[in-house]
Amino acid sequence: MPWTKVYGNKAEFEKLSGSTPGLRGITYKDALLEATTQMLASDKNVFVLGEGVDDAGGVFGTTRDLHKKFGKDRVIDTPLAENGVTGIAIGAALAGMRPILVHMRVDFMPLSMDQIMNHAAKWHYMFGGKVSVPVTIRSIIGRGWGSAAQHSQSLQSLFAHIPGLKVVMPATPYDAKGLLRSSVYDGNPVVFIEHRWLYEHIGHVPEEAYTVPIGKAVVRRKGADVTIAAASLMVYEAMKAAEDLKAEGIDCEVIDLRTIKPLDIETLTGSVKKTGRLVVADTGWKEFGIGAEVIARVVEEAFHALKAPAVRVALPDVPTPASPVLEKAFYPGKEHIIEAVKKMLVRERP
């Protein structure tokens, strides 16, 4: 989904994304492609595998032509056998390689859950820290186009619940490139979740290789009245909501979580201690989701700073509909964040 369809015009998107005129700007998908290209070129232990990674489209452009540049022994198209392919990636990681496994849809990752949960996540602990499993599992979430219940899920909380896994959800092209490199060289399993609606977003990305630290959130917009913590696509919805609320005299601070696990609780509590209010916006379901975990952690660390009950903005507890009309009602956006903020302001604790 191009930024023009989501944000109306380039100037509006650049304002929301923090793009700076004159700096090199590329799309989110090209940032992922560039990061992968640089790692393949500089490290013989890095390789890519997954269903369709050598297709003409190259997984929405993120692996485009890599098999032509580096050969099919390092960019490997795999059978439709998710559990087996994941096992191959884990075995390669145990042997000292740094595989980047691409799952084109997160919906099919549960087919690999035994390998991910019972093997990749546990070997480092089972062998007293002497064994590492440096596998990066790229997984794609999304919405729209009638993708419905089995092709549009956001399952980040499912993987974040498992000890031994890290889960990242970059929202910007800059973070996509930097966090992918950090994930590959982290030394243990990282689930790297990308939203399809972000692929055409344009942002500043340096040409040279760099890293963005896993486990560190960033304040995208400073404010004094309400903290809005968001991940992935919801960061942009939060920024849009903050702009609209500013016109009504409500000053929102927007935090891009960037990493779901481990959470940057220090940045979150620091912001809440300043604003006294918290809204969490997630692409997944509300029940037992990321919003619940963020709020629980903030309550544990900074309960007395809260002036009102925290609010979650997330999906309702039903499978995703296929109808465009129902999709519009199903997915939350800036309007729901604005509603949550206003609701909070009238529910101040005595």
| E strand or H helix that includes residue 237 | helix 234-246
Single out the residue of 141, 137, 257, 139 nearest to residue 195, CA to CA. Answer: 141
Given the residues 82, 194, 200, 293, the one annotated as active site: 82
C-alpha dihedral (98, 66, 159, 331), degrees to nearest 10: 160
Q: Are strands 252-256 and 218-221 parallel, antiparallel or unpaired?
A: antiparallel
CA distances from 296 to 11, 143, 266, 281 (A): 37, 27, 14, 14
Q: Residue 200 catalytic?
A: no
**How big, in percent rounded to 5, are the helix, strand and coil portions of the chain?**
40, 20, 40
User: Catalytic residue among 12, 151, 243, 339, which?
Assistant: 151
Kindly report the length of the chain. 350
CA–CA distance, 327 with 146 (Å, rounded to integer): 8
Verify whether residue 82 is a known catalytic residue.
yes
**Of 313, 333, 318, nearest in space to 149 by CA:** 318
How many CB atoms are closer than 10 A to CB 317? 10
Which residues participate in catalysis according to the annotation?
A: 82, 151
